[in-house]
A = this chain, B = another copy of it.
């Protein structure tokens, strides 16, 4: 299978670096090839076209991203801890891979609607993970049972996404992971006394 060949991984890694360093639109295929240490043509033995590189980057990286989070969550006992873990791991992983953070928060958004729909598909398992936690919280009696699930899902994702984007736009100058607890509190308790 192509995806297990070393060059496939090389190209993916090179793509993340090149996109993070140069931005989406200045990321020529030739630059990615050079960074990956392969010929331009070799790219096309592993990817259909440039867009396919981008989608693949996202799939690979998001696959790992979600898996890491899922694994960590599974070790936790209740919805409260699971939600905290989701937030922490979400922040932790992006904080520890600056290139990936830039790519997911800024560069990959510079794509057309079709590509964005594909990216959304890749994100579905992550959103399902959120849903599971919320449902569990309701069953545990921790969360209110009148919650509008899709809305809660968008709320949680929106908060995490915006806080990470803000951190990236501020050049990653502060400690993202430290915010996890406060964000957790805000999500669970809201603004009210």
Q: Which residues of A contact B (CB under 8 A)?
A: 23-25, 106, 109-113, 116-117, 120, 134, 137, 141-144, 147-148, 151-152, 154-155, 157-163, 166, 169, 179, 182-183, 186-193
Whether A158 lies near B151 (C-beta < 8 A) is no
Whether A183 lies near B162 (C-beta < 8 A) is no
Whether A23 lies near B159 (C-beta < 8 A) is no
Majority secondary structure of chain A interface residues (helix, strand, loop or mixed):
helix
Question: How many copies of the chain does the oligomer comprise?
Answer: 4
Q: Report B-chain residues with C-beta under 8 Å of the C-beta of A190.
A: 186-192
Known: A23-B112, A112-B23, A157-B162. A151 touches B188 (CB 8 A): no
Distance, CA A174 to CA B143, complexed state (A): 26
Beyond contacts A142-B192, A161-B162: 5 other A-B pairs, Cβ-Cβ < 8 A, are A106-B113, A154-B163, A187-B190, A188-B192, A190-B190
